[in-house]
Structure 1
């Protein structure tokens, strides 16, 4: 929702800046409409074209990389869940309790909105998994002891992976950076509209450019929060993990 509001606000500001500068030019006194003034304004516009373009490209690249990294970590997390279940199965009936807790955790995580949200219920199931693993005892069976140690190691790895993508997903772009970018773009569109011909072609081109830039900002902000909004990661890896545990 925030991404959509910011994108719409950006579009309104860019179009208003362009049309406003077009309308203002006709009302300026003659000495404000000389070729020297126009050249200076164009020079300022040239200076501001580079920085917004660079910043917009960097933000887009960062948002895409973050989205891909979180998606990869989510798949690794689901793989760790399946691996933990596979490690516990050879331990026999004594491992039924942690396996049941593991399934309960996955089912609870799928109910959470978003799935990375650390709710009390999901945290409780995770703690129960760890407690039940620590409570297991195998006296002289070296093979089961080795599997038990491996299961505890996978459990710690699973926890680490979970908090990794949880922290990554809660890292939106700083508001001042977005505000500065929008301010630069607004000034750039205002200077571009200065002394521009007031006809349908120019106005249409400016509106189209504003739509594309606003859309890019929307994509950047939405992809920076990959578990909310229209562009969000699928919960399919966790669904598949739950299916594997039930087998």
Structure 2
């Protein structure tokens, strides 16, 4: 159930409870609405209102911080991806072939984390970037095939880049990290690449946790029930005037919008208030504009002019 549906349910529940309270007040005996009854119910409803307001405030604050953390993680994620592409370019040779793996991972990450590309903040369409990067990714040299203990041959980096696009982003990232560990020779750039691969895995799991960490629907339902009870009691004792009716509807709309914001920010990668994908998609644009040194055209050679 999405955030807008739950917010509408909350609005209708509170408005319906207030209307039921107004109808019920007309059928109650006059002594039920005396001074002592009002005092007792006001004390009880004050406790309910305080508890509900405190919980809503904590939920809004928690969701806001979660959204901010997700936005920072996406920016750090994009920075790490760009650093890895730069290091792969600097390494040259077999590492240039791994840019295809990195590109496939970024494309799959965008498709899985932001499932509707048309509504996101992408700066360049993915198919256009894919065609451009196919031209920039060198066809060789690729990493040699490695036999496994069972005697079978493990796929090379180029095979992983081509076939891995059908897999999940997590699988592609694991394959990329595994290939980084087999880059020859062992030097500082290789160690930096392995460290960046571990950082990418950490950010991958953190973003996956954001997409699965949502407020329980039962908890939201309990809060809606408390609010409906509160407005039902208020409807019993409230005057039947247009001003009071307008005030009730305005307050109910504010509370429903707060519930909507809580649910929207609680899942930063879906709905209307989603974290922008621009930092990640900009990495693809950067990769398309930075070919490996081995892809540069050979320097022109000049021969000495021959004598007559």
Task: Note whether the superposition's TM-score is higher than 0.5.
Answer: yes
Which deviates more from structure 2 when the two are superposed, residues 57-66 or residues 91-100? 91-100
Distance of 2:113 and 2:57 partners within structure 1? 31
Show the counterpart of 1:211. Answer: 253
Show the counterpart of 2:173. Answer: 126
From 150, 167, 184, give the equivalent of 2:226: 184
Question: Where do residues 141-152 of structure 1 align in structure 2 (5 Å cutoff)?
Answer: 145-152=187-194
Q: CA separation of 1:113/1:86 partners in 2, compared to 1, >3 Å: closer, same or farther?
A: closer
Does 2:67 match 1:67?
Answer: yes
Question: Where do residues 76-225 of structure 1 align in structure 2 (5 Å cutoff)?
Answer: 76-112=76-112, 114=114, 120-138=167-185, 145-225=187-267
Q: Tell me, what secondary structure is at the counterpart of 2:237?
A: coil
Distance of 2:242 and 2:273 partners within structure 1? 34
Q: Kindly indicate whether the alpha-carbon contact (under 8 Å) linking 2:70 and 2:207 is maintained by their aligned counterparts in 1.
A: yes
| TM-score, normalised with respect to structure 2 | 0.74
Distance of 1:19 and 1:205 partners within structure 2? 13
* Cα deviations by residue, 1:30-85 (Å, 9 ceiling, x for unpaired): 22122211221222221211101100000000000000001101111111111111
Show the counterpart of 1:242. Answer: 284
Q: Kindly indicate whether the alpha-carbon contact (under 8 Å) linking 2:210 and 2:268 is maintained by their aligned counterparts in 1.
A: no
Q: Kindly indicate whether the alpha-carbon contact (under 8 Å) linking 1:48 and 1:184 is maintained by their aligned counterparts in 2.
A: yes
Distance of 2:188 and 2:47 partners within structure 1? 65
Q: CA separation of 1:47/1:127 partners in 2, compared to 1, >3 Å: closer, same or farther?
A: closer
**How many pairs align?**
239
Show the counterpart of 1:141. Answer: none
> Any gaps of 5 or more consecutive residues in structure 1?
139-143
Distance of 2:271 and 2:61 partners within structure 1? 19
- CA RMSD across the alignment: 1.6
Q: Kindly indicate whether the alpha-carbon contact (under 8 Å) linking 1:20 and 1:190 is maintained by their aligned counterparts in 2.
A: yes
> Any gaps of 5 or more consecutive residues in structure 2?
116-165, 290-308
TM-aligned CA deviation for residue 113 of structure 1: 5.1
Show the counterpart of 2:7. Answer: 7
Q: Kindly indicate whether the alpha-carbon contact (under 8 Å) linking 2:63 and 2:265 is maintained by their aligned counterparts in 1.
A: yes
Between Structure 1 and Structure 2, whose CA radius of gyration is higher? Answer: 2
Q: Kindly indicate whether the alpha-carbon contact (under 8 Å) linking 2:66 and 2:266 is maintained by their aligned counterparts in 1.
A: yes
More helix by share: 1
| TM-score, normalised with respect to structure 1 | 0.91
TM-aligned CA deviation for residue 112 of structure 1: 2.7
